[in-house]
Amino acid sequence: MKEKYNIGKTNLNKEKYSKVINNSFTQLIPPPPDPVVEPTIDNFFELYNDLFYDIPKEGDINSHQYLIVQSSEYIGNPVLTEEFLALVEEVNNLRSQLLEANQQILELQTQNISGSLNSINNIDFNQIS
Residue 36 has pLDDT above 80, yes or no: yes
38-92 confidence digits (pLDDT tens): 889 999 999 999 999 999 998 889 999 898 888 888 887 665 677 778 888 999 9
> Who has greater pLDDT, 105 or 27?
105
Question: What is the number of residues in the chain?
Answer: 129
How far is residue 80's CA from residue 58's CA, in Å, rounded to a whole number? 13
Residue 129 has pLDDT above 60, yes or no: no
Q: Confidence class of residue 31 from pLDDT cuts 50, 70 and 90?
A: confident
Tell me which amino acid residue 34 is. D
Specify the pTM: 0.36
pLDDT value, residue 80 = 62
Secondary structure (DSSP) of 11-80 = ---HHHHHHHS--S-GGGSPPPPPPPPPP-HHHHHHHHHHHGGGS-SS-SSSSHHHHHHHHHHHHT-GGG
Locate the domains of the chain by residue range: 37-78, 81-117
How far is residue 56's CA from residue 62's CA, in Å, rounded to a whole number? 7
Q: Each residue of 108-117: b (16+ CB within 10 Å) or e?
A: eeeeeeeeee
pLDDT value, residue 20 = 74
Lowest model confidence (mean pLDDT) among 6-20, 35-49, 92-106: 6-20
